[in-house]
């Protein structure tokens, strides 16, 4: 089992940067694919980015490509989301998740992640 704790959210202005962290407990961190999802006001939860167990495969939703960078540091059991050039539409609660994904159970589907953090609020003012 994996417990996940996000941190790093806050209130920023458009164009600013934030780095979210997701600290995982347990030795199983390296066994899981990891993802970031977000849920904006009045919206469904949506996929943001994912990184494979090895770190070799990385995926982003189109709206954050070129602005967000996902990474993981196995030695620290931690995943990161570097968010640059933030926009008001990035305002959401951001969740990290751990799971096993594949072509049958794709990385962009929240249902394929078994473990979730409590979320961290990111608010971007215009």
pLDDT mean over 8-32: 94
| Structure confidence at residue 114 as a pLDDT band (50, 70, 90) | very high
Rounded-to-integer distance, Cα 50 and Cα 118, Å:
18
Matching residue, tokens 């409590």: 118
Check if the beta carbon of residue 83 is closer than 8 Å to that of residue 16: no
For 43-101, the pLDDT digits (tens) are: 999 999 999 999 999 999 999 999 999 999 999 999 999 999 999 999 999 999 999 98
Rounded-to-integer distance, Cα 96 and Cα 98, Å:
7
- Pairing, β 120-125 against β 10-13: parallel
């Amino acid at each position: 089992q994996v417990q996940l704790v996000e941190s790093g959210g806050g209130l920023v202005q458009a164009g600013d940067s934030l780095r979210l962290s997701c600290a995982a407990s347990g030795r199983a961190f390296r066994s899981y694919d990891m993802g970031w999802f977000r849920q904006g006001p009045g919206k469904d939860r949506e996929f943001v980015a994912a990184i494979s167990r090895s770190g070799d495969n990385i995926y982003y939703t189109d709206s954050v490509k070129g602005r967000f960078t996902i990474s993981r540091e196995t030695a620290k059991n931690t995943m990161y989301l570097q968010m640059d050039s933030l926009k008001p539409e990035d305002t959401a609660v951001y969740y990290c998740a751990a799971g096993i994904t594949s072509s049958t159970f794709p990385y962009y589907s929240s249902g394929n992640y078994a473990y979730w953090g409590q979320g961290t609020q990111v608010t971007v003012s215009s």
